[in-house]
Chains A and B, each alone.
Chain A
Amino acid sequence: MPEREVTTRRLIFFGLSLVALAGLLFLPRVRSEYQLLTYTRFLILALMAQGWNLIGGFTGFAAFGNVGFFGIGAYTTGLLMISRWQIPFFPALACGAVLAGMVAVLIGLPVLRLKGHYFAIATLGVAEAFREIADTWDSVTQGSTGIDLPVRSEGDFFYYSALVLVILAIGATALLARSKIGYAWVAVREDQEAARMLGINTTAVKVIAFALSAVLAAMAGGLTAYQNIHVTPSDFFKLPYTLEMIIATVIGGVGTIFGPVIGAGVYTLLSNYVWGRFIELHPTVLGALIVFFVIFLPRGLMPLVGEMIRIARGQKQFRWRSLLSNVRAHRVT
């Protein structure tokens, strides 16, 4: 493709991003406090999904325990804020993120040796174990009663903090994806043995991805803790958080830079709509959504958007059959 076209496309993309950013920046001016809460939830989900994407998307390890790091972030942030030293929010959040990253390294070293299903279930179990520890370690976490954080009620604060963190996370993902380590992640995902043969230190590469995903999850956890004020093991170590970040990433596009954010947006929109209409069947719709995406759009919306653009410009003809390409590639009859 000619150099000029690439530049134009970059400019268009850049312009669109600026418009989106400006819209997001001015959102609190035009939205009510309650609606702002929904948007903040979207941003926090985007942050977690961006983290899951590093280990689950780029590196291809289906981590099912990221909620454990979410909880560690929430507890560390909360406990430091209410401790004797009354550490302010942002340093406390940073401590939570660093601690979660270190725990992820320790857990990751043995667990990342496992492959496939074994890894998935092991991480699921580790997160469950974290919950039990938080539940029983009364002297620190106050067990199932939980801890209370200082109250801060300005919606703007949480919204902008989340926005800044998401932008930083996207920037970091974009940089990493184009760096040596990003390529190493993809190499590990495609063929771990071959990657090792090429001289990639697969253990280090995997552990870094796992730790970074833990850091982002912990930040999301700390932010949610401060916003919710009250932190309990059952509210912060619960599986739905893990599921939401995976679903958001799958909807947007696994292993893409903007996929998780787009997926988080779509998921929050759908989720809100479903909550509003049929509250009791919310999980059913969620389950059906997962089934639909896994079968028809396993690579998410990002590639679909690209396809649409090509069709709109006449470079490709629209075919219903192309929607079935995944099924055709993987089915048995």
Chain B
Amino acid sequence: MSAAEFGQIAINAILLSGILALVALGFSLVWGIMNIVNLAHGAFVVLGAYTTYFLHELAGIDPFLSIPISMLVLFILGFGIQRTLINQIVRAPLLATFLLTFGLEILIVNLVNYFFKADLRSVTTSYTGTGIGVGSFRIPYIRLAALGLALLLVLLTAWFLRSTRYGRAIRATGMDVDAARLTGVKVGTIYALTYAIGASLAGAAGALLSMIVPFDPNVGGGYTERAFVICVLGGLGDLRNVVLGALVYAFVDVFVGSRLPALSQAFTFGALVLLLVLRPQGLAGKKSYA
């Protein structure tokens, strides 16, 4: 591998890692606070992509400007789902929430398939495909903007959790449900809020992804898996760990993908199982959350 080739691969990996961090961010929040592995997360990403796509196609709204709208739509959906369904059994053993979100995933993906068909779509704007060249390297504008926005949203979410009233209530609930309730936190609402934020972040990720890679209703499962791997790599307990996890994942993915594309899943999961067995709290995570 030449130095130039290596440089381009490294740039691609860094650009990819921002968006992957955003995909994993909401997943990590929901998992860390409520101990729910939200298998419907990928479906939310897909819904975000479709919202952006239709706003762009039908109303002509620039995909970057429609990100807040996608987030709002997913926020409302997520709030409703947690409030009416998941809250009913959130204290049941793990298989219950696992299966429940899986059922939701199947349901959402199938409905999207039914209404919008399984055609591969993508959002194409006037600036798609343009970029800046640094030396012999190429950096597409959209990917660069996506990286910046993703990092911004990671920091914003971390700030929200640390410094606002609702954010502190969310963290308190994650630490001890009963103690939080005793101090007057409405746990049901806070859970719904947490899930809604997770879903809206998935929506933002989907909006960005719709400009970068073509999508169809069935790509969601892959994003759920990636979110999981990234959370495990980075470790739960601090949202900023997803950036580290995403960076590691992106490098492994881009390098293995450029050498052994057919076995990338086998390789990724082999490494994941190894890591889980050796270091269950992730690379940077705190032990108590694992």
Contacts and interface: CB of A to CB of B under 8 A. Distances in A.
Given A120-B37, A129-B266, A291 B98 contact: no
Contacts of B53: none
Interface string A269-297: 00000000000111110111111001100
A118 B106 contact: no
Interface stretch (B154-162, B207-215, B271-279): B271-279
B278 to A, nearest CB: 10
Interface stretch (B14-22, B108-116, B198-206): B108-116
Interface in A230-261: 243, 246, 250, 254
B214 to A, nearest CB: 21
A246 B99 CA distance: 9
B265 A291 contact: no
B243 interface: no
Contacts of B188: 331-333
B175 interface: no
B89 A298 contact: yes
Nearest to B84: A295
Nearest to A278: B114
B99 A294 contact: yes
Interface in A286-314: 286-291, 294-295, 298
A111 B109 CA distance: 29
A120 B228 CA distance: 11
A121 interface: yes
B172 to A, nearest CB: 14
B90 A331 contact: yes
Interface in B80-99: 85, 87-96, 98-99
B87 A114 contact: no
A114 B106 contact: no
A67 interface: no
B104 interface: yes
Contacts of B272: 122, 125
A288 B104 CA distance: 7
A116 interface: yes
A283 B277 contact: no
Interface in A107-126: 110-111, 113-114, 116-118, 120-122, 124-126
Interface in A45-64: 56, 60, 62
A297 to B, nearest CB: 11
A201 interface: no
Interface stretch (A29-37, A70-78, A132-140, A178-186): A132-140
Nearest to A117: B37
A129 B109 contact: no
B265 A125 contact: yes
B87 A298 contact: no
Nearest to A119: B276
Contacts of B187: 332-333
Q: Is the interface of B mostly helix, strand, loop or mixed?
A: helix
A118 B91 CA distance: 18
Given A284-B111, A326-B92, A291 B103 contact: yes
Contacts of A250: 99
Interface in B247-290: 262-266, 268-270, 272-274, 276-277, 280
Interface residues of A, number: 48
Contacts of B108: 287
A118 B110 contact: no
A122 B273 contact: yes
A327 B265 contact: no
Contact of B100 (A122, A294, A332): A294
B107 interface: yes
Contacts of B106: 243, 283-284, 286-287, 290
Contacts of A84: none
Contact of B89 (A128, A289, A295): A295
B99 A330 contact: no
Contacts of B96: 294, 298, 330
B73 interface: no
A332 B90 contact: yes
A326 B89 contact: yes
A332 B191 contact: yes
B262 A136 contact: yes
B216 interface: no
Nearest to B91: A330
Q: What are the 7 A-B residue pairs with the smallest beta carbon separation, nearest first?
A: A125-B269, A290-B103, A287-B107, A129-B266, A287-B106, A283-B110, A330-B92
Given A122-B273, A294-B89, 18 more contacts: A62-B94, A110-B273, A110-B274, A117-B31, A121-B232, A128-B269, A250-B99, A284-B111, A288-B103, A295-B85, A298-B89, A298-B96, A326-B92, A330-B91, A330-B96, A331-B89, A332-B187, A333-B87
30 contacts: A62-B94, A110-B274, A111-B273, A113-B277, A114-B280, A117-B37, A117-B94, A118-B276, A121-B225, A121-B228, A129-B270, A132-B265, A280-B113, A280-B114, A281-B110, A281-B111, A282-B110, A283-B109, A287-B106, A288-B107, A291-B85, A294-B89, A298-B92, A327-B89, A330-B88, A330-B89, A330-B90, A331-B88, A332-B91, A333-B188
